[in-house]
Amino acid sequence: MTAQDLEKLLQEMSLEEKVGQMVQLSPAVYGKDSVITGPAGEVALTEEKTALIGSLLGTGDPEVIRRIQKEAVARQPHHIPMLFMLDVINGDQTIFPINLALGCSFDPDMAERTASIAAREASAAGVHVTFAPMLDLVRDARWGRVMESPGEDPTLNARIGEALVHGFQGENVGEPGRVAACLKHFAGYGAPEGGREYDNVELSEQTFRNDYLTAYQAAVDAGCRMAMTSFNTLNRVPSSANRVLCRQILRGEMGFDGVLISDYAAVEELISHGIAADRREAAKLAVEAGVDIDMMTTCYLDNLPDLVRSGEVPEALVDEAVRRILRLKNDLGLFENPYKDADAAAVQNVWCCDAFRKEARASAPETFVLLKNKENLLPLDVDTGDGSGGGEKILFAGPYLDSHALYGSWSFPNHPEEIPTLRERLEQRGDGRFLYARGCGMLPDKTVLTDHPLSDLTPAQNVEAVDAACRLAAEADRVVLFLGEHIRQTGEGASRTSLRLPEPQMELLRRVSAVNRNTIAVLFTGRPLVLREVEQLAGAVLCVWRPGTEGAQAILDVLFGETEPSGRLSMSFPRAEGQEPLYYSRFQGGRPRFSASDPKAYRIGYIDEDYWAYHAFGAGEGYTRFSYSPVSLSAAKLCGADPDRAGTDASGAAAQITAAVTLTNTGRRRGTEIVQMYLRDRTGSVVRPVRELKGFRRVTLDPGESREIPFVIAEPMLRFIRLDGTFGSEPGLFDVYIGHDSTTDNSAAFALV
């Protein structure tokens, strides 16, 4: 449809029809099954109103979608097709590592590939929009949804976020195999006080703009077609009623011109927030704030027509929302083909096809972070060199040995029971030297967690299971324990005050490591954990997050050294829960501590615990070692505001500086390093962080090989929100750090003039 035709259609639509476009419900209103991801309110709709609804969420079944679409197009007075939206977060049927793990890969290209596969699978099912990427900056591991975000760093999140948008949408959302992306949750949802789910957010204007908006902005710049409001309150106004946030910042300043949808029931929740007296007022506030679609309530449907007729809401507000929604439908090509790619036969060839599973297997090791590897316990030494091709007896145990739930929350595989378990993959290797034990219990995947112990075994059965594992551990040369959080311990509504492994698993680790010191812990988690005791007990610790469909195979690839774990932490791991929120990009403070030997009293931090992370942002090992040369700079002065002055400037300042290191693989295996470049602005009109990630590169080298790794530094990289609220740089001294992680001391200094 041309833009004029679209405008003509809009003019012809009745007010009720227009409001219908602004409503999203679940297929339940059509009597169809769907995934319910929030409280299911009572929605009683007349036939007439049902016919006007503009979009549905929660089904990825191509037959259901085709059937509903056919009826919808026939019934809608202007035959306007529906939008089908779904949470395709970590993949559709081929499940990839969770977003936090994708952050750890520092590999936007890989992230883009996973998103484009997810888009292929979802669009073949008939889905038009995915509620992804989630780009909330996360700095408090107690919050359950940290697993959905790439992590704590604005730049890393921005690079992963824009890659995901490109992966989902391609060049044109109307093309086959593409879906529209929806950035969420706007804004600041990642910073609830105390890490408590759905709680208030307090962010200074500086922190909000410098850190929290960065990744959302990158997604907008990448052309993301939709955005979702967040549940939280910011500056005492819930996002779905926050005009400053939605109109002034998102649309005005950030340049977003797509469709803004509320989060699940967030319009009606304005009442509970205490900002609207009733559903009518909630609808008024949300539409005034610029929320185009009301997800999962009928506040708009029941109240907007009357609000417009009574003159309380200008019809122009409804028109602008509907215009955006129709434009998206048109760009998806739905007026020509309302089913887009929905094809029940095609999905059989697309879903979980070999090529996609191969990508799932290859991507996961890039996200695994090796946190400890004492005496090179890993990779498992299969060949002892005695000509037998091996010989070590290895015990594999723990609750994840037999688990199919190797994926994270927000994954909805149709056949979770077909996801291979670790034991199944180990048995396929057909190695008689492997021993197996359950070790301890874990509740079934679907259990809604409350306060019960996380084991399905009685205390006595647990003791028996541990005893059995210990007997085998005593015979084994090495032990691999597959441990971790229950799948429901992270995700929405899963905040925790404890960041520890479930107690039955700790008991297993304590007892087994006492009889076999070559114990390796493989950890499934959706958040940073407190690992001090785990690392005292286990000789090696490999964090595999929630790796997805091919998780078991990918883990074995890494354990047996067929590939290496090449992820680095995208979120700091704390020493104790009391350190949260925790992130590397902090302020030095007026009474700093620089090292553990500095006194603690009257200095920044705690008296009973160190200030720094247990494992820092960027940390992680591989199976080889790397050395870094000192940082070299191509110039000592960088030209500020006017780069044209470069070269002609009397001070000899350059338009850009190249900072470089020579990286050498000093180990005996080919391996990958993630070279990280941080900048520090020594003084500013406002306090500047101790350092900020500004560049990174994955580099693979053969043993003995060296390579120069350059990073270009230009003035725009040095900009921030200054004291007067403007965005720009300030002259002065800067440090460039290039090294293995966020604690590197390898640095050089330059001046911005």
| Nearer residue to ligand BGC within complex by CB, 266 or 334 | 266
Binding mask 12-41 for ligand BGC (x = CB under 6 A): -------------------------xx---
Q: Are strands 540-543 and 369-373 parallel, antiparallel or unpaired?
A: antiparallel
Least distance between ligand BGC and beta carbon 148 (Å):
7
d(CA 751, CA 532): 41
| Nearer residue to ligand BGC within complex by CB, 168 or 734 | 168
Q: What is the DSSP letter of 302?
A: H
715 binds ligand BGC (CB under 6 A): no
Which pair of tokens denotes residue 648?
A: 């002609």
Choose among 291, 180, 279: nearest CA to 245: 291
| Nearer residue to ligand BGC within complex by CB, 182 or 709 | 182
Q: Cα-Cα-Cα-Cα dihedral of 127, 61, 410, 448, to 10°?
A: 150
Least distance between ligand BGC and beta carbon 182 (Å):
8
d(CA 347, CA 61): 10
| Nearer residue to ligand BGC within complex by CB, 37 or 242 | 37
| Nearer residue to ligand BGC within complex by CB, 492 or 507 | 492
Least distance between ligand BGC and beta carbon 185 (Å):
6
Least distance between ligand BGC and beta carbon 101 (Å):
18
Least distance between ligand BGC and beta carbon 231 (Å):
6
Least distance between ligand BGC and beta carbon 510 (Å):
37
Q: How far apart are the first and last CA of the chain?
A: 53
User: Sign of the C-alpha dihedral, residues 734, 740, 745, 747?
Assistant: negative
| Nearer residue to ligand BGC within complex by CB, 140 or 263 | 263
Could you please report the per-residue DSSP string of 381-419? Answer: ----SSSSS----EEEESTTTT-S--S-SS---S-GGGS
Cis peptide before 379 (omega within 30 of 0): yes
Q: Which residues pair with 627 in a beta bridge?
A: 664
Site for ligand BGC in 407-446 (CB under 6 A): none
Neighbouring residues of 506: CB distance < 8 A, sequence distance ≥ 6: 500, 533, 534
Least distance between ligand BGC and beta carbon 154 (Å):
20
User: Sign of the C-alpha dihedral, residues 647, 650, 655, 659?
Assistant: positive
How many residues make contact with ligand BGC (CB under 6 A)? Answer: 9
d(CA 95, CA 549): 5
Binding mask 196-215 for ligand BGC (x = CB under 6 A): --------------------
Which pair of tokens denotes residue 643?
A: 């780069």
| Nearer residue to ligand BGC within complex by CB, 264 or 545 | 264
| Nearer residue to ligand BGC within complex by CB, 38 or 561 | 38
Cβ proximity of 516 and 473 under 8 Å = yes
With residue 233 as reference, give the H or E element that holds it: strand 233-234
| Nearer residue to ligand BGC within complex by CB, 38 or 703 | 38
Distances (CA, A) of 340 to 2, 293, 332: 18, 21, 8
Least distance between ligand BGC and beta carbon 297 (Å):
12
**From 87, 136, 263, 341, the catalytic residue:** 263
Least distance between ligand BGC and beta carbon 609 (Å):
33
264 binds ligand BGC (CB under 6 A): yes
For the chain, the C-alpha Rg in angstroms (whole number) is: 27
Distances (CA, A) of 298 to 315, 351, 377: 18, 34, 58
Could you please report the per-residue DSSP string of 40-105? Answer: -------HHHHTT--EEES---HHHHHHHHHHHHHHSTT-PPPEEEE---S-SSSPPPPHHHHHHH
**Of the candidates 136, 211, 263, 359, which one interacts with ligand BGC according to CB under 6 A?**
263
492 binds ligand BGC (CB under 6 A): yes
Distances (CA, A) of 130 to 36, 181, 267, 356, 546: 15, 5, 20, 19, 20
| Nearer residue to ligand BGC within complex by CB, 38 or 667 | 38
143 binds ligand BGC (CB under 6 A): no
| Nearer residue to ligand BGC within complex by CB, 240 or 676 | 240
Least distance between ligand BGC and beta carbon 493 (Å):
8
Cβ proximity of 132 and 82 under 8 Å = no
Cβ proximity of 240 and 286 under 8 Å = yes
Least distance between ligand BGC and beta carbon 187 (Å):
13
Q: Are strands 434-437 and 478-484 parallel, antiparallel or unpaired?
A: unpaired
With residue 571 as reference, give the H or E element that holds it: none
With residue 558 as reference, give the H or E element that holds it: helix 551-559
Q: Is 354 part of the annotated catalytic residue set?
A: no
Site for ligand BGC in 58-97 (CB under 6 A): 87
**Of the candidates 30, 96, 106, 131, which one interacts with ligand BGC according to CB under 6 A?**
131
Least distance between ligand BGC and beta carbon 229 (Å):
10
184 binds ligand BGC (CB under 6 A): yes
| Nearer residue to ligand BGC within complex by CB, 293 or 457 | 293
With residue 497 as reference, give the H or E element that holds it: none
Choose among 235, 103, 226, 217: nearest CA to 157: 103
Tell me the catalytic residues.
263
Residues that bind ligand BGC (CB under 6 A): 37-38, 57, 87, 131, 184, 263-264, 492
